[in-house]
């Protein structure tokens, strides 16, 4: 699983997704973050906390995975530039189609309900398509949680998500439950793919 998180919202989802994926017997989960493109000075001015100790991924490490979940915050309805920069660095993998046929999924954080809960994954799918990856959405497999109307809940049939608001809101219990489900569901699909091919 590879992610970018400036304020920790996506990182929190990633940790929960990792737990869900690890709950599937025989599945090994690796958590990576993509390189930061902003300087420490700029990050400090933005009030971003220090990065976690999760290892930084290189594009070549993607080829080792049987399946990959990508996570990122939204910037104007699309993936953050830091994650896009990482994807732009995967040209060598694209040239050899090293990721073709691998299952892939998406999780994300947005600032508001109109801030990209569907447009972010929808625009990110193009990255997967050019690599020949197989997009695995969660659909409505989270059951009744997908139809929750009394509580604010991020996510969509495209993948799990959270609302960050002004940055002070952290993923809710329901959003974390959806993230756990997402990891478990995706790991089950990736395991089936590996056994079949």
Q: What is the mean pLDDT of residues 8-35?
A: 97
Average pLDDT over residues 19-35: 97
The CATH fold of domain 2-195: Rossmann fold (3.40.50)
7-11, 83-87, 109-113, 180-184: segment of lowest average pLDDT:
109-113
Average pLDDT score, the chain? 95
Contact 73, 164 (CB under 8 A): yes
Q: Which residues pair with 69 in a beta bridge?
A: 105
Q: Say what percent of the chain tops pLDDT 70.
A: 100
Q: Is the pLDDT of residue 79 over 90?
A: yes
Find the angle CA(146)-CA(31)-CA(171) to the nearest 5 degrees: 35
Alpha-carbon dihedral sign for residues 137, 142, 143, 146:
negative
Cα–Cα distance, 48 to 36 (Å, whole number): 12
What is the tens place of the pLDDT at every residue in 104-162?
999 999 998 888 899 999 999 999 999 999 999 999 999 999 999 899 899 999 999 99
Q: What are phi and psi of 27, to 5 degrees?
A: -105, 130
Question: How is the chain split into domains, by residue range?
Answer: 2-195
């Amino acid at each position: 699983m590879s992610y970018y998180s400036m304020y920790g919202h996506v990182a929190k989802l990633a940790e929960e997704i990792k737990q869900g994926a690890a709950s599937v017997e025989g599945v090994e989960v690796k958590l990576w973050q993509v390189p930061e493109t902003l300087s420490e000075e700029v990050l400090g001015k933005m009030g971003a906390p220090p990065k976690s100790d999760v290892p930084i991924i290189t594009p070549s490490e993607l080829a080792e995975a049987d399946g990959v979940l990508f996570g990122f915050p939204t910037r104007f309805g699309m993936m953050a530039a830091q994650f896009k920069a990482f994807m732009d660095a995967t040209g060598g993998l694209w040239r050899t189609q090293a990721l073709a046929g691998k299952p892939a999924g998406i999780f994300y954080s947005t600032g508001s309900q109109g801030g990209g809960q569907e447009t972010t994954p929808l625009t990110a799918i193009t990255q997967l398509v050019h690599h020949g990856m197989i997009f695995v959405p969660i659909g409505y497999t989270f059951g009744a949680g997908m139809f929750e109307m009394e509580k604010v809940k991020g996510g969509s049939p495209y993948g799990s998500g959270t609302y960050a608001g002004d940055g002070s809101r952290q993923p809710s219990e329901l959003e974390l439950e959806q993230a756990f489900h997402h990891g478990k569901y995706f790991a089950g699909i990736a395991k089936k793919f590996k056994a079949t091919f």
